[in-house]
Amino acid sequence: MAPLRSYPLPTLLTPPAVAQAWRRRGPIVVLETGRPNAAHGEQTLVAGLPVARFEWSRGRARIEALRAGIRWPSESDLAQERSPFHALERCVQALGGDAPLPCGAYGWFGYEATLPAELPRLEPWPDGWFLLTDVVVRFDRPGAPPTLLARDDRLARELQAELEEVAAASKPELATRSTADRRHTVVLPFTADDLDAATYSERFAQARASLAAGESYQLCFTYPLTRPLPPDGAFRLWERLRRDHPAPFSAYVEEPRFALVSCSPERFLRVDADRRVEARPMKGTASKPLDAVSRATASRELQASGKALAENLMIADLLRNDLGRVCRLGSVRASQPALVEEHATLLQMVSVIEGDLDRGRSTADLLASAFPPGSMTGAPKVRSIELLRALERSPRGPYAGILGYLASGGVCDWSVVIRTALCVAGQAQVNVGGGLVWDSTALEEWQESRDKAQPLLCALAEIVLERSAGRAAELAP
């Protein structure tokens, strides 16, 4: 099998330009660090031209070869694996690669990926979807020239020439609008069809009864909001969000049946080439004021909030337990408990959990131990999932699952699928919610969920308005 090689690309090339060129060739996945820093990493990855596609649905794996030359495990072989993560890991091993270069599997596992096959699913989304590829464009850091990673020299030269032409024809990216400009945009993001405060309060009362009975200490209750989406709206939504709401774990996934647009601020798990593990569970939210003095005050108030601290530390402890089952004894620690991060419109409380994978344990073992993300279930995890199933009335699909990549040697980086639009057939579904604890109040939690939804809903509303204005201009005499 040929080794991966690196091919230089023009500095002016952008992730959307690569995505626009490659989406004509088939499915694509873009994993973008919209806020590059030491904590979240700096590289942005655009994966396309897949060798194969992997899907997981209702407990069954399917691998579809799209390019010749690799012997994939059979579906009966994959059926012997003990989890979807082990089935995917086996396919990545078949693809091979040069660790820690990020060629491998790119995609997501939905929230229901490990739940019994007979439970409802969100159609038409499978429980897991990945493209497996040895063709990736990597942007190492802002301002540095990107590189193309590929095995096939002939294909790489063709793509290199194509992307040089794309870069030469590209227009400069629009500057990010200021927070003040975004907040003064006249858009009404919520509608009468959305879950109102009264209905939310009814569901909140049911959740609180479970807390009072001691069945759970925290429940992450969520609900969907649905909006119309014009043609090619998912791609335009991604372009707008990456400009106006850059997030540490932005993503764009597109294939013929659906598209997924994410501006997630939360890392689920990262494993590096030395088998070091990092989780960054996020619980505790506050609005981000415009001026620096007010932001500093709001940050101190969030850190001093007993409710926010309880939410965060419950989930941090849950993650420590999840990691402890597969990490070396004594290596799991909360290296940065309850720190506050600033994002585009919100302040978020985060705890950093670290550990080292134990000998004989793989990344698939880690994912099987920690999935689904504890920040999206509550604690204890198993009973909370059962209670949420009764509260939420509909499946979550990719939302509240994980999205990212798995490469050779178990190297990976996964975000939690939140602040995400699930786009299918002219509609976008945005799920929102938050962790409910005994000190929560219905009105505050309902308002917090709306605060989280607003950037995505405003961007969707702006796209629809622009589309309508463009059509009106075309029809004008």
Out of 168, 202, 236, pick the residue that ends a domain: 168
Q: Are 31 and 64 in the same domain?
A: yes
Active site residue 452: no
184 occurs within a structural domain? no
Answer left, alpha or beta for residue 331, where phi above 0 means left and psi between -120 and 50 means alpha: alpha
Catalytic residue selected from 89, 254, 266, 278? 266
pLDDT grade, residue 466 (50/70/90)? confident
Output the CA torsion sign for 425, 427, 430, 431.
negative
Q: Are 135 and 232 in the same domain?
A: no
* pLDDT of the residue at 88: 98
340 occurs within a structural domain? yes
181 occurs within a structural domain? no
Output the CA torsion sign for 166, 168, 170, 173.
positive
Instruction: Tell me the mean pLDDT in the region 40-54.
Output: 93
Q: Determine the Cα–Cα distance for residues 196 and 431; give it in Å rounded to an integer.
A: 14
Q: What is the pTM of this model?
A: 0.94
Q: Are 261 and 399 in the same domain?
A: yes
Q: Are 252 and 118 in the same domain?
A: no
Do residues 143 and 13 lie in contact, with contact meaning Cβ atoms separated by under 8 Å? Answer: no
pLDDT grade, residue 145 (50/70/90)? very high
* pLDDT of the residue at 184: 46
pLDDT, one tens digit per residue, over 208-264 is 999 999 999 999 999 999 999 999 999 999 999 999 999 999 999 999 999 999 999
* pLDDT of the residue at 319: 96
Q: Are 313 and 418 in the same domain?
A: yes
DSSP string covering 346-395: EEEEEEEEEEEBPTT--HHHHHHHHPSPGGGTEESHHHHHHHHHHHH-S-
> Percent of the chain at pLDDT above 90?
82
The helix (H) or strand (E) run that includes residue 15 is helix 15-22
Catalytic residue selected from 239, 278, 283, 354? 283
Amino acid at 80: Q
pLDDT grade, residue 144 (50/70/90)? confident
pLDDT, one tens digit per residue, over 391-450 is 998 999 999 999 999 999 999 999 999 999 999 999 999 999 999 999 999 999 999 999
Residue 63: pLDDT above 70? yes
Residue 330: pLDDT above 90? yes
175 occurs within a structural domain? no
| Residue 436 lies in domain | 191-475
Q: Are 123 and 231 in the same domain?
A: no
Active site residue 266: yes
177 occurs within a structural domain? no
More confident position, 472 or 462: 462
Q: Are 230 and 110 in the same domain?
A: no
Query: What is the pairing mode between strands 28-32 and 249-255?
Result: antiparallel
pLDDT, one tens digit per residue, over 160-204 is 999 999 999 987 766 666 555 555 455 678 999 999 999 999 999
Give helix 197-212 / helix 381-392 axis angle, nearest 10°. 150
* pLDDT of the residue at 393: 86
* pLDDT of the residue at 470: 63
* Joined tokens for residue 291: 């001026």
Q: Are 290 and 198 in the same domain?
A: yes
Please report where in the chains the tokens 């990092």 appear, as a residue.
278
Q: Are 85 and 144 in the same domain?
A: yes
Residue 334: pLDDT above 90? yes
pLDDT, one tens digit per residue, over 346-365 is 899 999 999 999 999 999 99
Q: Determine the Cα–Cα distance for residues 113 and 122; give it in Å rounded to an integer.
A: 11
Query: What's the full length of the chain, in residues?
Result: 477
Q: Are 202 and 321 in the same domain?
A: yes
Looking at every residue in the chain, the average pLDDT score rounds to: 92
Q: Are 318 and 404 in the same domain?
A: yes
Q: Are 142 and 202 in the same domain?
A: no
- Closest C-alpha to 311, from 202, 444, 454: 444
